[in-house]
Structure 1
Amino acid sequence: MENAKGSIRIGIEDYFLAKDKHDRDKKFRMISALRNIYAGILIMFKERLLRLSTDRCLIFLESDKESNKAWLNEKILNKKAKTVNVHEIKKLFKKFHVDYQKKYLDQLNQARNELEHFSADVSDDYLEELLVKAHRIILNFINGFEDETIENWIDRDQWKKIEQSYQLVQEEKKRIEEEYKNFCFFPEQLEARMKHSLCPNCFSSLLSPTGKKDDPVMECRYCKKKYSPIEIIQSEHDEHYNIKNGGDPTLGICPQCDEETLEEDGDEMIFKCDNCGYEQSNCCECCGSSIPIEEVSEDDNYCGPCRIMLNKDD
């Protein structure tokens, strides 16, 4: 428990050091802040697993029987012991009906991975939004510990400052919302997507519409970089051609506007273009299988093999 509290406190301190404009390592302290707070939350989760299990062994992987046995009988930890990962924690929490705000945790995990492996430049507002979500997880979760109070975990004055910064960002977002009313060049589908997008450079959510009707531009209020709407959509799929590692593309060429902005919505079983609003079923009319996104055609609704077979019949 003390390790969890320590990680969260260090993360908060890194955040405030990063806010100091004179700190030369600002961008790395931002990453460190998120990393430490996320790690603290996971350790907090493992403490909950310890308290949920009568033999105090839920923190170990089920396959690690030797470590479990040593811990049970002799209270000795095997140096090679492996504790549960995020996936295992989620499974156990589901089993024991523990509420842990999965959506926020997944967002923190994804952001941590993106920042550690793909970018070292982070906007203040992006991190503040993530920290507020981390705060929600901590506040909600410590209710499961009868002997814990919020004062044992966080400095209220520090979190008050973070919340205030977050509120300033929300106010700026409201001003941007008003700009959208004046900038009426976007189709409904594209406008909705832009409002929920992040700057490809610094991950700021403060993207403002500007430019002309035939050349709309999104400008980041934080780093001042400018992007076309299509560039922003494509930036969210930087790895969509990871064919070498067995991955499949997640973006395709839209048959209607010819832009690489076609995405698959698995829930609605459709392909949709965020640029022009084009929609098409992702199920082959002939065999019923899912159509690969690279085989989408406006002329028919068939997968590649069925299209070849039908053409042969003709």
Structure 2
Amino acid sequence: MSMLDNAVQSIQIGMEDFHDHDERRVLSAIRNLYAGILLLFKYKLQQLSPEDSDEALLKTKVLPVIDPATGGVLWVGKGKKTVEVQDIVERLSNLGITGVDWKLLHALQSIRNDIEHYFSTLPTERMKEAVANSLHLITQFCEPHLDERPVEILGQECWDLMLSVATVFEAELKSCQDNLRSVEWPFEQIADSIAFMVCPECESRLVKVNDPAARRGAITFICQSCQEEVDYCGVVGPAVEARMAGENHWRVRGGDEPATCTCPECGHDALLVDEDECAACFY
């Protein structure tokens, strides 16, 4: 059986498990989905590996050897251990694989790790998010880089199951994002950080404000996934920090001062330098 066949079967079994009424099979569902997605990426690395390299791009260990025919150096894979997530992302990116939102893969990895350790408390909405992330990764990857439409690879039944779950999750996410966009945030940088707002308890993106008319520190959040209520700083601080990290990197590289720095009061990298005030705790 080929690596692609293994990938497809893992994803198909994952979706069958997800729709089973036995809650214990949800663990198997997320494991299989995650494994199947990784196998799809590994299949591409297998395709791109040079001939007679023992699938070098797949292997964790790659060693130089002398080609007896030419005297040149060849890079050959050694052992059976294959690359992990970060190596997969780096190798595919360096090989020109574009258009894949790798943040979705890392989010899927996080959900998979959570379910391994906190299975009894992981809410259903996080499972839906895992399926939605998987669907987007498959869509972004298959047709541009495997030259096949996702439905042709996975089969109509599996694809329809994934679409049904992802559609529900995306509708819930849109409702939450619309709620967040309706708030009059005290700083523009917070409005720009909406996409980074997650529940600090379960890391779900399905967060809303309780009262869109509330202002500044009176704003509180409710997670639609785990129902945890969170104060303003608990959501805004990490979101602004994540949003500004990239901008700060490029500002510093260009010789400018970062737009934010670490707040001595709350500890988040959310103190807005130009405003001289912390977006998270208003210090």
Instruction: Determine if the TM-score, normalized by the shorter chain, exceeds 0.5.
Output: yes
Cα separation, partners in 2 of 1:183 and 1:113, compared to 1, 3 Å: closer
Cross-structure match for 1:15: 15
Distance 2:270 2:237 in 1: 16
Cα separation, partners in 2 of 1:49 and 1:89, compared to 1, 3 Å: farther
Q: Is the 8 A contact 1:7 1:40 kept in 2?
A: yes
Cα separation, partners in 2 of 1:233 and 1:34, compared to 1, 3 Å: farther
Q: Amino acid of the residue matched to residue 249 of structure 2?
A: G
Do residues 267 (structure 1) and 265 (structure 2) align? no
Cα shift at 1:49: 2.4
Cα shift at 1:266: 0.9
Distance 1:11 1:272 in 2: 42
Q: Which has the higher strand share?
A: 2
Cross-structure match for 1:54: 51
Deviations 1:108-149 (A, max 9, x none): 145315632675426133213311222121332212xxxx77
Cross-structure match for 2:30: 31
Gaps of 5+ in 2: 69-75, 253-257, 277-283
Cα separation, partners in 2 of 1:94 and 1:236, compared to 1, 3 Å: closer
Deviations 1:140-176 (A, max 9, x none): 2212xxxx77566312232233223323333333333
Cα shift at 1:12: 3.5
Cα separation, partners in 2 of 1:18 and 1:100, compared to 1, 3 Å: same
Name which of 112, 115, 130 aligns with 2:109: 112
Q: How many residues are matched?
A: 244
Cα separation, partners in 2 of 1:90 and 1:222, compared to 1, 3 Å: closer
Cross-structure match for 2:143: 139
Cα separation, partners in 2 of 1:173 and 1:199, compared to 1, 3 Å: same
Gaps of 5+ in 1: 70-76, 238-249, 252-260, 282-297, 299-314
Cα separation, partners in 2 of 1:278 and 1:168, compared to 1, 3 Å: same
Distance 2:249 2:111 in 1: 23
SS in 2 for 1:201: coil
SS in 1 for 2:210: strand
Cα separation, partners in 2 of 1:223 and 1:267, compared to 1, 3 Å: same
Q: Amino acid of the residue matched to residue 260 of structure 2?
A: K
CA RMSD, 1 decimal? 4.2
TM-score, scaled to structure 2? 0.65
Distance 2:41 2:178 in 1: 39
Cα separation, partners in 2 of 1:271 and 1:20, compared to 1, 3 Å: farther
Do residues 99 (structure 1) and 94 (structure 2) align? no
Cross-structure match for 1:41: 40
TM-score, scaled to structure 1? 0.60
SS in 2 for 1:199: coil
